[in-house]
Amino acid sequence: MKNKVDKGFELIYWNLSYRRKFIRTLWQTPLVFLAIGLLIFVGKNLFFNRIAPILLVIIYIWQLIYNYIKWKKDEEV
């Protein structure tokens, strides 16, 4: 891990350790649900009503799993 921030405040996402990225991703959960609700409520066509929310959930879950796996792998080293 090269100069990755694991304690204290860090505004820039890519300067964080994988543990902190995982935690920040968890903090974004309410925002993801809010964005999905907004897309479904405001969307006027199939893409914004169905496809965009599904893609948002898939990307969010992938990011969560990826950061968790990398965090545990960094702990082993």
Which residues neighbour 63 within 8 Å (Cβ) at sequence distance 6 or greater?
Answer: 25
36-41-51 Cα angle (round to 5): 50
Helix (H, G, I), strand (E, B) or coil at 7: coil
User: pLDDT tens digit string along 21-48?
Assistant: 999 999 999 999 998 998 888 888 888 8
What does the domain layout of the chain look like in residue ranges? 16-76
**Nearest Cα to Cα of residue 27 among 67, 55, 54:** 67
CA–CA separation, 13 and 32 (whole Å): 17
- Return the pLDDT at 32: 92
Single pTM value for the model: 0.82
